[in-house]
Structure 1
Amino acid sequence: MGSASSLLTQYDIEEVQENCNYLFSQQEIVALYERFCQLDRNAKGFISADEFLSIPEFSLNPLSQRLLKITDGLNFKDFVAFLSAFSPKASFQQKIGLIFRVYDIDGKGRVTFKDQMEVLRDLTGSFMQEEQREQVLVHLLNEAGYTRDASLLLDDFIKILSKCNMKMEVEVPVD
């Protein structure tokens, strides 16, 4: 193991594992700690927005600005908790919980039509006109039994997305 992992004690590993509901093995926790230390360039103990944006896959993501509101300033324990939604062992509800947080940018526990339109705008950019976005979203909501006036809760998101076959996983390379 590298020098970064020597700062992580067995107790720390087990505590982080418990915090993320054992969705990562001890070896994966060590590998994630090494990556965390690489990203935490000034060894502050947390990862800033600029450091997250140094990850090409993150910075190229059309939702990166929304994700930054969730990830900016995460310490290692919170970093692993955030990534746990991407574990192959994570439940469907855990994955949807993260998606819900991306949509629920104000953190009030509700996603409005406006919130959904903003995400759709981020995802489609200039490839879709505003009227088209609105039509698509209204159609999707109607198909799921909701109107544009509905404020969706996490349970609504789970209900709507349960029909989707999505793969939201990341592989943690271990030595």
Structure 2
Amino acid sequence: MGLTASSLNLTQYDVEEVQEHCGGKFNSREIQCLYKRFRTLDKRHKGYISEDELMSIPELAISPLAPRVTQVFQNLNFKDFCRVLAAMSDRATREDKLDFMFRVYDVDRDGYISFSDLETIVKHLVGSSLNEEQVGELITRAMGELAELRKKTGVGRGGDDGRSSPSLGGGITFDEFRVIMKGNTKLPTVKVPVGFD
């Protein structure tokens, strides 16, 4: 790709390459707008966006999950930035969006949402409004509900409290996450503002 940290414009070839990298989830105009936004965020023209630069996005900064989302997005070049955002585009499938959410919740990136992953996410969401014991009780209750779901649906490997290793059944697999999220209609969506240049 002909992009450098200081490139001011995308060539048609660059746009097509990004479109392919994103699975066609963004059109040419949206990619041009995303590139302008990327360049604005990349204040030091390094070719990637740092955690501090991501936190300068007001909509992200106010989110309780901002630390996790910035970990997913930080240090991405423009093509990869678009690829990650593509999972939340209007053209993304439900599966794409669930995969993105799963990656946010899978803090240690082991392919499972474990007790400790949930603990980290819950702490981000509730802040200091719950103490350690209350957070632990909430997660233990959620893992108990997961065990019941596993019994009802046959999805998963049988249950425990989620504190053990994934091979022993502790942790939510992507297939289970899909089942858990089945009734959820509010999945993350990003709209690229075109026409406001």
TM-score (norm 1): 0.88
Contact 2:144 2:161 in 1 (8 A): no
1:60-139 equivalence runs, <5 A: 60-128=62-130, 129-134=134-139, 136-139=141-144
Secondary structure, counterpart of 1:99 in structure 2:
helix
Find the aligned partners of 1:43 and 1:37 in 2 and give their Cα distance.
Answer: 7
State the match for 2:178 in structure 1: 158
The RMSD of aligned alpha carbons is: 2.0
Structure 2 residue 55 is the aligned partner of structure 1 residue 53: yes
The 10-residue stretch of structure 1 (158-167 or 50-59) with the greater mean CA deviation from structure 2:
158-167
Residue identity opposite 1:59 in structure 2: A
Between the aligned partners of 1:139 and 1:53, the Cα distance in structure 2 is 35
- For 1:165 and 1:90, the matched residues in 2 are separated by 14
Unaligned 5+ residue runs, structure 2? 1-5, 151-158, 163-169
Against the structure 1 CA distance between its residues 5 and 86, is the aligned structure 2 distance closer, same or farther, given a 3 Å change threshold? farther
* Residue equivalent to 1:148: 161
| 2:92 partner amino acid | A
* Higher Cα radius of gyration: 2
Q: Distance in 2 between matches of 1:120 and 1:159?
A: 20
What is the CA deviation profile of residues 38-80 of structure 1, one whole-angstrom value per residue up to 9, with x for unaligned ones?
A: 0011111111111001111112211111122211111000111
Taking a change above 3 Å as real, the CA distance of residues 122 and 143 of structure 1, as seen in their structure-2 partners, is farther
Deviation for aligned residue 1:165: 1.5
Instruction: Flag the structure with higher helix content.
Output: 1
Q: Is the 8 A contact 2:26 2:89 kept in 1?
A: yes
Q: 1: distance between equivalents of 2:51 and 2:110?
A: 22
Could you list the runs of 5+ residues in structure 1 that have no partner in the other structure? none
Rounded Cα–Cα distance in structure 1 between residues aligned with 2:145 and 2:84: 28
Task: Give aligned-pair identity as a percent.
Answer: 39
Contact 1:5 1:34 in 2 (8 A): no
Q: CA deviation at 1:15?
A: 0.7
Instruction: Give the distance between the partners of 1:54 and 1:118, measured in 2 at CA.
Output: 23
Higher relative contact order (CA 8 A, sep 6+): 1
Q: Shift of the alpha carbon at 1:131?
A: 4.9
Moved more, 126-135 or 77-86: 126-135
